Amino acid sequence: MNFIRRVLMVLGIAGAAGAILRLKGRSESSTTRGGWRPMTPSESDSANSLSTKK
């Protein structure tokens, strides 16, 4: 019985520690300053445009 209790306690502690490690932590911010502006994609292939009319 004691053995089962110990095993359950160890599993419980390991689970709690795993959950804390998984949920806590700092974000690594890829970009922290700046903003978004409309972008015009490259028109190098514009000669290859698709017709919507037959």
Partner 1 sequence: MLTAKVGVLGAGVTGVRVVEHLRTLGHTNILVSDKVVARAQRLSALHTTDEIRVAAVTREELFECGVVVLAFGSPHAHMSTQLIQRGVSVVSLSDNVSDCMNLLALDAQAKEHKTVIIVGAASSPGVTGLLLRSMTDRFDTIDEAHVAMHGTGGPDCARQHHDALSGQSIGWHDDEWLRRPSGSGRELCWFPEPVGAYDCYRAELPDPVLLKKAMPELERITARVSATRRDRFTARLPMLAPPHAEGGMGAVRIEVRGNRGGSRIVEIAGIAERIAQLAGVVSAASAHAVATGAVTVHGARVLGEPELPNAALLELVLASGVRVHQFVGA
Question: For binding to partner 1 (CB under 8 A), which residues are involved?
Answer: 19, 22-23, 25-39, 41-46, 48-54
Query: CB-wise, 4 or 21, nearer to partner 1?
Result: 21
Rounded Cα gap, residues 19 and 30, in angstroms: 25
Q: How far is the CB of 18 from partner 1 (least distance, A)?
A: 10
Question: Between 1 and 50, whose beta carbon lies closer to partner 1?
Answer: 50
> What element of type H or E holds 1?
none
Give the integer Cα–Cα distance in Å for 10 and 4.
10
Of 2 and 48, CB closest to partner 1:
48
Q: How many CA atoms lie within 13 A of 54 on its CB side?
A: 0
